[in-house]
Structures are given as C-alpha cells and as structure tokens.
Amino acid sequence: MIANNIFKAIGDFCTNVLFKPFDALRSMDNWWLQTSISWVFIVITFIAFIYWLSVLKKNQKAEIE
C-alpha cells in the first residue's frame, strides 16, 4: 500500500509540477516560439555531446601515452 502511494505521488509530481512548462508550450498559438524552444534543447544536447566526445578523446590520448 505504501509503495503504491509513493508511485502515485511521483506520478502526481511529474504531471502537476514538472510538465507544466510543456503544457504551457502546447497551448501557445505561436508555432515559431514552440519550435525555437525545441531547437534550443537540441543545440544544448549537441554541444554536450561534442564536449563529451572531446573529453573521451583527451582521455584516450592520455591512456595511450
């Protein structure tokens, strides 16, 4: 019973708190603003991926030497 309440609380928190910004985005009438926010997230992910690859390459060079 307690475990069931914990999962319901986690689901309620995600639905009512974490996803509120996405509900606001979904209800916007401006398609360009919705898409630009998605592209910002894509660019941030791409930059993090490039950084991660550079750190892997640096560590690989350190292991070889």
Per DSSP, the residues of 1-41 read -HHHHHHHHHHHHIIIIITHHHHHHHT-S-HHHHHHHHHHH
Is the pLDDT at 65 greater than 70? The verdict is: no
pLDDT band of 61, cuts 50, 70, 90: confident
- Whole-number Å distance between alpha carbons of 50 and 3: 40
The mean pLDDT of 14-42, rounded to a whole number, is 89
| H/E run at residue 49 | helix 31-64
The mean pLDDT of 9-38, rounded to a whole number, is 88
Which residues are CB-neighbours of 34 under 8 A, at least 6 positions away?
25, 26, 28
| Structural domain spans, the chain | 2-64
